[in-house]
């Protein structure tokens, strides 16, 4: 994939980009419902876990871009989607309240299906990737807010957008309560396997008891306790801006070297340290003053971090969030070392204690308990690992996605969100998607400490969504 190496270094560039973006519109022309090829057993339900309930404020959006191909047409895609949905009964179900008071949400797996939206974009894929703004890109996904009667509301939406050159964008939207990034990505990966008539490499694993609290774990979580005591960010407070930085394999290895980390270390800690320090500097009200020690929230997939690991295809939320502290004035190597040290100190007990704490505070369990803003109000950095998941979603043999976008709604008004995930280039290459207050984003996109690694950038302004 060839993207322009554009650098938008000022607030003016952000506004100019937004003002010149009005000519491109995605035309939605059809909406249908796709059900699973195999009916679900009557009465089957899937209760959401405490971790799922904690994500009630957030929505996931994924966009997979594909070059033109002989089987990349909407009818064939809907057929293979119907086939893979037989393995995901919770995806085609509808939300309902548990019969027992205080138990929260459950999915009634009733074969109601998911909504599929069909659309066209009047440009080629390369033109779109070169210049589309974030607001335009989100037109490739479809989202409707939950209605008063959730039994008629589809949690999942898929949008199939055809470009002028017959390239296709597949947009998936779902409540974060249903899935974390790994789960949502592997749904598309399983769809691509079914489309090629291949074996599903990472099949779904629906197991509600997986995250029931352990009897020997204390329901204690300093992280979530502190979040519950903080007033959530006001989504109307200022505009946010999104940017995606695509770092080549050599650039990431250079960043690892500058962070004094070995070449085979996870790029996440080096890139998280780089962006944390630069965002902190960009957000400082007094640019000349010392920043000192600060906190950041880190999120990792915990499926394989447990003594009894879960399959990658576990359905639901399995990310663990924890805080790290470092002196952001001390340089990239110091901050990266502190992030690595903190990651090594994460215990499985911490995870289970957080599960117990959240279980005791599920919506309806206690009066006045409001959904947390997990991605905020502080800066949050999340690692979406494993290149084989997103860029392994090949709907045709040996045809990887040209680009994959992952966004999380519900961070408006917060200090920001940084998502680190593999890029289209194989190896250590990574893409970093940031959502920040507009003024901060403008400074970060012109930051020389980031620019020196030569990232390709896709940038735009964004506002609150459903």
pLDDT tens track for 113-167: 999 999 999 999 999 998 888 888 999 999 988 887 888 899 999 999 999 999 9
Let me know if residue 223 belongs to a domain: yes
Let me know if residue 373 belongs to a domain: yes
What CATH number should be reported for the domain holding residue 190?
Answer: 3.30.559.10
The per-residue pLDDT of the chain, averaged, comes to: 87
Let me know if residue 41 belongs to a domain: yes
Read off the pLDDT of residues 376-390 as tens digits, 9 standing for 90 and up.
Answer: 889 999 999 888 899
* pLDDT surpasses 70 at 237: no
Let me know if residue 311 belongs to a domain: yes
* pLDDT surpasses 90 at 79: yes
Let me know if residue 285 belongs to a domain: yes
Number of domains in the chain: 1
Let me know if residue 6 belongs to a domain: no
Residue 458 pLDDT level (bands cut at 50, 70, 90): confident
The 3 state secondary structure assigned to the chain is CCCCCCCCCCHHHHHHHHHCCCCCCCEEEEEEEECCCCCCCCCCEEECCHHHHHCCCCEEEEEEEECCCCCCCHHHHHHHHHHHHCCCCCCCCEEEECCCCCCCEEEECCCCCEEEEEEECCCCHHHHHHHCCHHHHHHHCCCCCCCCCHHHCCCCEEEEEECCCCCEEEEEEEECCCCCHHHHHHHHHHHHHHHCCCCCCCCCECCHHHHCCCCCCCCCCHHHHHHHCCCCCCCCCCCEEEEEEEECHHHHHHHHHHCCCCCCCCHHHHHHHHHHHHHHHHHCCCCCCCCCEEEEEEEEECCCCCCCCCCCCECCCCEEEEEEEEECCCCHHHHHHHHHHHHHCCCHHHHHHHHHHHHHCCECCECCCCCCCCCCCCCEEEECCCHHHHCCCCCECCECCCEEEEEEECCCCCCCEEEEEECCCCCCCEEEEEEEEHHHHHHHCCCHHHHCCCCEEEEEEECCCC
**pTM beyond 0.85, yes or no:** yes
Read off the pLDDT of residues 295-334 as tens digits, 9 standing for 90 and up.
Answer: 999 999 999 999 999 999 999 999 999 999 999 989 999 9
pLDDT at 291: 76
pLDDT at 229: 65
pLDDT at 264: 86
Let me know if residue 16 belongs to a domain: yes
260 vs 3, more confident:
260
Let me know if residue 139 belongs to a domain: yes
**Which residues form the domain of 157?**
11-462
């Amino acid at each position: 994939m060839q993207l322009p190496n554009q650098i938008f270094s000022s607030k003016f560039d952000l506004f100019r980009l937004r003002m010149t973006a009005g000519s491109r519109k995605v035309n939605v022309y059809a909406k249908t419902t796709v059900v699973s090829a195999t009916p679900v057993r009557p009465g089957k339900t899937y209760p959401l876990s405490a971790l799922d309930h904690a994500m009630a404020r957030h929505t996931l959006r994924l966009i997979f871009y594909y070059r033109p191909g002989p089987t990349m047409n909407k009818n064939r895609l809907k057929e293979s989607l119907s086939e893979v949905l037989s393995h995901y009964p919770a995806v085609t179900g509808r939300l309902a309240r548990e019969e027992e008071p205080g138990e929260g949400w459950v999915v009634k797996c009733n074969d109601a299906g998911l909504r599929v939206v069909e659309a066209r974009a009047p440009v080629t894929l390369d033109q779109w990737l070169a210049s589309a703004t974030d607001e335009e890109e989100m037109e490739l996904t479809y989202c409707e807010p939950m209605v008063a009667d959730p039994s008629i509301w589809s949690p999942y939406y898929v949008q199939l957008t055809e470009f002028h050159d017959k390239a296709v964008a597949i947009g998936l939207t779902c409540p974060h309560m249903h899935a974390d990034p790994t789960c949502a990505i592997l749904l598309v990966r399983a769809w691509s396997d079914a489309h090629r008539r291949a074996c599903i490499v990472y099949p779904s694993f629906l197991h509600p008891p997986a995250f029931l609290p352990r009897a020997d774990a204390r329901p204690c979580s300093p992280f979530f306790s502190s979040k519950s005591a903080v007033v959530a960010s006001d989504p109307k407070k200022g505009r946010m801006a999104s940017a995606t930085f695509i770092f080549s394999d050599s650039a990431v290895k250079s960043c690892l070297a500058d962070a004094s980390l070995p070449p085979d270390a996870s790029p996440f800690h080096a890139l998280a340290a780089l962006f944390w320090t630069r965002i902190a500097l960009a957000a400082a009200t007094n640019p000349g003053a010392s920043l000192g020690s600060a906190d950041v929230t880190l999120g990792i997939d915990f499926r394989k971090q447990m003594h009894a690991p879960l399959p990658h295809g576990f359905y639901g939320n399995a990310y663990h969030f924890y805080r790290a502290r470092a002196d952001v004035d001390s340089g990239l190597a110091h901050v990266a070392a502190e992030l690595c040290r903190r990651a090594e100190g994460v215990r499985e007990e911490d995870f289970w204690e957080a599960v117990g704490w959240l279980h005791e505070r599920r919506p309806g369990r206690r009066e006045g308990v409001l959904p947390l803003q997990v991605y905020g109000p502080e800066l949050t950095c999340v690692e979406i690992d494993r290149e084989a998941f997103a860029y392994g979603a090949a709907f045709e043999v040996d045809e990887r996605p040209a680009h994959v976008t992952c966004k999380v709604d519900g961070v408006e008004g917060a200090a920001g969100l940084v998502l680190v995930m593999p890029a289209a280039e194989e190896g250590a290459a990574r893409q970093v998607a940031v959502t920040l207050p507009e003024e901060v984003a403008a400074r970060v996109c012109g930051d020389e400490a980031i620019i020196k690694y030569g990232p390709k950038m896709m940038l735009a302004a964004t506002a609150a969504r459903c």
